[in-house]
Structure 1
């Protein structure tokens, strides 16, 4: 028998942005456990904004597990929060109720800032560093500093070891700003792996005495870029059938549901989506081929392939909940039945 360190992860009840929590239990198994072997586990919901002190029990239900390369015999266990009966989803448990579709593919581009001593990593004590320009995908100490690249490389290796479909990293436009990408088939799969990747990054940064700042516009109304979490998406129909008529009907549905999308694309998006810095205004919908200033960027390859492939919604921000983002995208897509579009064509 082997003693395994099981790190149970969950989303707390804070609003408007849920935080990640984690605690460890030790369990013995004859071999690496299956998900079904991992038990339910209780926690104090009154300390996470998920229960009152007089009735504080909440329950963690394992839904995914990942190898934890930072620990000997370590496992990261992604959980849903349940009511004390262990069956009823807690009101803060968005994962249990989102729309999901195995044929829907999502790729999330998570931007973030490294922060130390209350400012982005590499910023001087007062004022600002040299203007944006050389930092995006830059190389060398002046562009990247001495620590950030080490962290993102370690994070990449830990995610790959965990089996997370981490697809890439790059330095972003602002000093101290970076990005990683997660792809998954099925909205729950992609979102699970994004949350676990965020957890791994935040825990890794503890040893560097650095924090991760996910706020979408941490430097306020300045020329410094904000942070997004662009959502690349496709469905079976978009990939295999598509067509210009279907695409235009889809864009009409996205325009009609503009405010429903903005409501779940992350708080303070009006501070980021100003129409500047390659963003569309938060209260207007637009789309365009290769247009980084549109709400939805349409790749050249999509148009050349008879309007088949994937699309990129550039409005979700870095604080957004990938469960809610993916669910809203699928909800809007569902308003344009494939058969209806085919008949119109």
Structure 2
């Protein structure tokens, strides 16, 4: 009641702009409020701002200033009124020799949005389209155990009831999920659905369809709203791939992907086959960039992989959600459309994942000029450590460093993929209109 009282007070024409950016780990969301005397109509109207890189793990030698540049603005569903959310990416301070009238800003080494944007602009003729199914688990902040689970339960017993389930003890946390979906819609984010997932307390929502860089922008903002709402609901909204052990499949962030060529009639199916060959050849390079702790989803009880495969294997299956890549039946029938990369973990960086997908499938070089590609070094969306913890990987060294993450053998070649039998898994998703991905 007290919070509602202050939320209703007039700001006398002032606009509160919540600047949102990623910290040094590449996975920690930061935000700060700047009061403006006007309502910006475009990102270009939003003033450039700075943050302390020392506090966010982004210090650059003796200079700790990080510049925040607005990329998109959205209505603020938490404050309402004319107040806005401002998505920013980060830049290094200009050199002292630069002309102070027009200093040149270079993307910060931890900024993955800038190289992703360059890749999407290069690939604009192919019109890449993405959707992401983001999973998360609601945890009790005192016990860090999923809400709705009996103490020390594995979660497996209720999995058949929980998926798209209804009722007390089944759809646990519905009020939170509803508040999050409405907040995203109010902010203008491309949220296209939400549902209870495999275990009590686990939910998923879909961002997309989005063109190019938009998927990363909207997904990060939706995660920001997850964190803000978790403050109000007094829960932890965890995007850790497996926040607690047990016989359950964990949290993922499957990406549906198509291009103009894969959607083309009479040609799309053959283009998809070429994409799959290229993805097989770079399987481990993708896996190391697909989220920290991802191996917990691909091994042990309740894992996502087939019993005979592992995180080292690349597999393709018709409507098989245990494969690395799922091919929908509609694509097989129409011989064109989209496919789903099910390898990314729930804490993956969408800028990094979509950039790798486009570069691999369209055979574009990874942009290594202005900034190194930063792979997240901390799971979930919590606070980062120091800049020394940030892991920057180039295309030549990414396999050499894979041991540092999950103990995979960097010299183990990926298995040659085979098309698995057209078997549907037991966790079928509700049918939705996805014609946008095919036409």
Q: TM (normalized to structure 1)? A: 0.90
Partner of 1:343: none
- Give the distance between the partners of 2:153 and 2:343, measured in 1 at CA: 29
Alignment of 1:59 with 2:88, yes or no, is no
Partner of 2:19: 8
Given that residues 42 and 72 in structure 2 are in contact (C-alpha distance below 8 angstroms), is that contact kept between their aligned partners in structure 1? Answer: no
Change (3 A) 1:249 1:52: closer
Given that residues 60 and 82 in structure 1 are in contact (C-alpha distance below 8 angstroms), is that contact kept between their aligned partners in structure 2? Answer: yes
Deviates more, 1:41-50 or 1:258-267: 258-267
- Give the distance between the partners of 1:325 and 1:251, measured in 2 at CA: 16
Question: Could you report, residue by residue, the CA deviation over 1:284-333 in whole angstroms, capped at 9, with x for unpaired residues?
Answer: 11112111111110011111112x11100000010100000101110111
Shift of 1:249: 2.0
**Superposed, which structure 2 residues align to 1:3-152 within 5 Å?**
3-14=14-25, 18-29=27-38, 31-51=39-59, 54-71=62-79, 72-85=81-94, 87-98=105-116, 99-100=119-120, 101-102=123-124, 103-116=127-140, 117=142, 118-128=144-154, 130-145=157-172, 148-152=173-177
- Give the distance between the partners of 2:128 and 2:275, measured in 1 at CA: 15
Residue of structure 2 aligned with 1:170, choices 186, 189, 195: 195
- Give the distance between the partners of 2:58 and 2:311, measured in 1 at CA: 31
Shift of 1:119: 0.6
**SS at structure 2 position matched to 1:226:** coil
Given that residues 165 and 184 in structure 1 are in contact (C-alpha distance below 8 angstroms), is that contact kept between their aligned partners in structure 2? Answer: yes
Aligned length: 329
Partner of 2:327: 298
Given that residues 174 and 225 in structure 1 are in contact (C-alpha distance below 8 angstroms), is that contact kept between their aligned partners in structure 2? Answer: no
Given that residues 46 and 53 in structure 1 are in contact (C-alpha distance below 8 angstroms), is that contact kept between their aligned partners in structure 2? Answer: no
- Give the distance between the partners of 2:61 and 2:153, measured in 1 at CA: 45
Shift of 1:263: 1.5
Alignment of 1:270 with 2:281, yes or no, is no
Name whichever structure is richer in strand by fraction: 1
Given that residues 166 and 180 in structure 1 are in contact (C-alpha distance below 8 angstroms), is that contact kept between their aligned partners in structure 2? Answer: yes
Shift of 1:277: 4.1
Alignment of 1:231 with 2:255, yes or no, is yes
Partner of 1:342: none
Question: Could you report, residue by residue, the CA deviation over 1:37-59 in whole angstroms, capped at 9, with x for unpaired residues?
Answer: 10110111100000068421111
**Superposed, which structure 2 residues align to 1:176-187 within 5 Å?**
176-187=201-212
Shift of 1:248: 2.1
- Give the distance between the partners of 2:153 and 2:254, measured in 1 at CA: 29
Q: TM (normalized to structure 2)? A: 0.72
**SS at structure 2 position matched to 1:25:** strand
- Give the distance between the partners of 1:295 and 1:142, measured in 2 at CA: 32
In the alignment, structure 1 segments of 5+ residues that lack a partner are 337-345
- Give the distance between the partners of 2:226 and 2:283, measured in 1 at CA: 32
Given that residues 279 and 315 in structure 1 are in contact (C-alpha distance below 8 angstroms), is that contact kept between their aligned partners in structure 2? Answer: no
Change (3 A) 1:223 1:89: same
In the alignment, structure 2 segments of 5+ residues that lack a partner are 1-11, 95-103, 365-439
**SS at structure 1 position matched to 2:296:** helix
Given that residues 63 and 77 in structure 1 are in contact (C-alpha distance below 8 angstroms), is that contact kept between their aligned partners in structure 2? Answer: yes
- Give the distance between the partners of 2:346 and 2:298, measured in 1 at CA: 12
Partner of 2:305: 279
- Give the distance between the partners of 1:199 and 1:135, measured in 2 at CA: 25
Partner of 1:332: 360
Residue of structure 1 aligned with 2:344, choices 316, 321, 338: 316
Question: Could you report, residue by residue, the CA deviation over 1:29-76 in whole angstroms, capped at 9, with x for unpaired residues?
Answer: 1x5532111011011110000006842111100011111122132100
